[in-house]
Structure 1
Amino acid sequence: MPRYYDLTVTLEGVDAPPWRRFLVDAGATLAHLHQAIQVACGWEDRHLFEFASTAGEPLAGLPDDESEPPVPDASTVRLGTVLGDERTELLYAYDFGDDWQHRVRLEAVVETEEVFHRRLVDGDRAFPPEDCGGVGGYEECIALVRGTADDDDLRTWLGDWTPERFDLASTRLAFDADQAPVTFLRPGFRHPSHLAGVEVSTAAHPAPDEVVDGVALLHRLRAFTQWAGEGRKLTATGNLTMAAGAELIGRLGTDDLLDKRIGDRVFKTKSTVELRGVDLTFRLARQAGFVKVRTGRVSATKRGTQLGRDPLADWRSALRGLLSLGVLQHRYAHATWLDPYWKELVDGETPGLLAHLLVVGEPVPIAELQERLWQLIEVSFVLDDLGEEDMRRHRRLLDADVRHICRALADLGAVEVTGVEKATDAYGLAVEQGGVVTAAPLAAAAVPDLAAWR
């Protein structure tokens, strides 16, 4: 039967404190609790926050690479691990400038056949206006509303706020939810160096060599390195020759096509950079240190001639090479029709994305990854000059790029992508919908590399 925590949240340090009482799914994280408090109390989620024990021990908060000691990411800490028989109260600090302190008390654990994520039960009084200046500013706002102060600017800023106003019915409309909201707390992904201080359950079980041997991309890298051998001639622009590309399609088993036919037209392949699978293998082998380019020729390095002796080390080199190469930067390196402005930014988030999947340890909807990275783009670039249709087009392209990154990581065996459905869009083009991505057991072998990522 579903279980829920019955919680009361009360503002500390003020007379006649406002409070809220609600139920939240027992499986919720502290990120979900943060979101619940924000909505129930009327905060605007514009500042930092932190959960702590009543003794002041930090429990979780917004990821911050510079905090000492590091505070766990609230999206990775389950509510049930910090509340229960031994601890029935938490402290929640919001806005470290105004320093709003809340006491979260566990009233009961409720079991019911009804299934939901959270439900508002009761409450009283309005929480302070955002950015009003802490307890002193809150008291000034109350005094002004009661007619004991006279500041026209402040009165205008307060609008219709009064300390007594709390509309349970309208707050329930915003608060009650059947499904858990997206749990990320800021755009983008935390720098993967935080893995050094996080226990990843699968990290203690490195993938055996036979699992690594099942990675098709690693087989292609070995085959390419063997082909390169003591040296193969490149073109004047440093690319593989067309003859080499034609040979490597079969040798590597890629899906590339020479001289594509679309309808009655044949589009002649002009360069091997158009053979995405072959070109990626070449670039990745070089980035991973398996081959080198000298005086117009590509040849195997000493490291490359030893491929297969330590499959797990080979795989780690390949993953580091893929992250350094940049999945999107390779994809668009020679594109003449499009060069998305976000490719470096999103590629830079890929190590953190993989670390996030490792920490979460459960399937994450691809839509959640897409939404997080789109929000990062919105706060990183000025998009005000884009019309509504252009915004939709940019978002569709970004969503496709995120799926491309997930496929690239899956090709290397770092993640598993499941539940994707094929569909056709309004233009008759094949598109993918839905799906979840999970860190594969093999990804745990990358923890040391991700933790040391620069």
Structure 2
Amino acid sequence: MSMRTGRVRHLSVVPNLSDTDEPADDSATDATRRRLVNLVLRVTVDHTRPQIWRRVRVRSDLLLSELHAVLQSALGWEDRHLHAFSVRTAGATRRFEMEETLDDEPDDDASSEERVRVDDVLTAPGSTMTYEYDFGDGWTHTIYLEQIDSDIDDLRSVCLDGARACPPEESGGPSRYAQSLEIAADTSDPEHAALIARWGAGFDPARFDVDAVNAVLHSFDVGRSVLAEAVAAAPAIGKLFDRVRPTEVPSLMALLPRCELTIESSVDLPVAEVAMAKFTWFLDRIGDDGAELTGAGYLKPAFIAAIREELDWGLGWVGPSNREIDHHQVSDLRDAARHLGLTRTSKGRLLRTKLGAALAEDPVGMWRHAASRLPLGKESYETDAATLFLISLAASASATHRNEMLIETVAELGWASEDSGVFDAQFAAQATVSFLDLIGAHGPRFYFRQEVSDSPSWSRRFARDALLS
């Protein structure tokens, strides 16, 4: 993985905190997990009088492509035409298109509806988005998040209420349909008979049958593809597949079901104590008063000696030096604590942040916080590469399978050749991989760059939690 001879320094993830008493941001105290809930949505067909509307309840991790199928059935459309979703944010419009549309007309400003969850767009009660159907006729719908329901005993999509029938397909859009309603109500109109024949004698524009709608909704095949399940569960995987064609990455597709992303986090205290041991020890050693640094800003030799003697590194260190600059293990630990927002420097001392003090004696909280910060990196190539390594770890992939997957995927992403794919991915993911090395997720032999790696049993769980965060 990352090179230790003539060692390349970590990619920058967050800036150093300055030498001030400025408090740390505590916003990341809890892992930013997307909790599964039910969402109650009111869907109105725009520009219809009387208004056509439905109230539906759907699970929050539904993909927009899956919401499309629910809307078609709840409203009564027949899915004959193209569609798209959009939302206005900060004065700009984000569009979520059909995969087929993006294949035919690539658009860097649009995302695939198959990679975005409903709760990525509708984030709080009052949030709205637009659903367009049949661009020729111009039917638009406003989707309004009315309520978040934490009761998830039943996660099936259900129609709760509604009014009026869906317009027939090919009815010309809102204005034309309004004219047709007037014609249908006037038996003396010369177009009346032809219109009723086209609509069918049984069509009643005022009729709405919620039981009939739910019979259709409940007949859906609720099974998801492996990719849909992975995208719905793991935001980083969704972002990755915005730029990757599943057919071109068979090795990656083979790993996804082995990640078991439908399993909820179940970390317990003994496991968290082992995995987070270096961080809890480091924060305890710094203490409330902080640790004095050398004039050059390094930890003092006595602190380095304690790191060597009191922490389990699996294999011995090189040489007797107690200088921080001579041992990447120390700089790895210090960098990782800073990246996680646990430490800062001020007036020549290394201090715990408020977050670091809060998590110093909470290994489970530390596990969840650390998982929530991965993958590390600001650039898409960094997070893409790190996501691939997390998938490999969560799936317990062999080195051979992992490397095949890396070569395929980075080539598909277009930023590495087959000859350099593994090396480029390792370099891009260095911050994340080095963090996993540090906590022992790859095993001590891996950390010291031996050929054999004995990953601990908890490493899959940590990688899975990182993907789910």
* Band of TM-score, shorter chain: 0.3 to 0.5
Structure with the bigger RCO (C-alpha within 8 Å, sep 6+) is 2
TM-score, length-scaled by structure 1: 0.43
TM-score, length-scaled by structure 2: 0.42
Higher strand share: 1
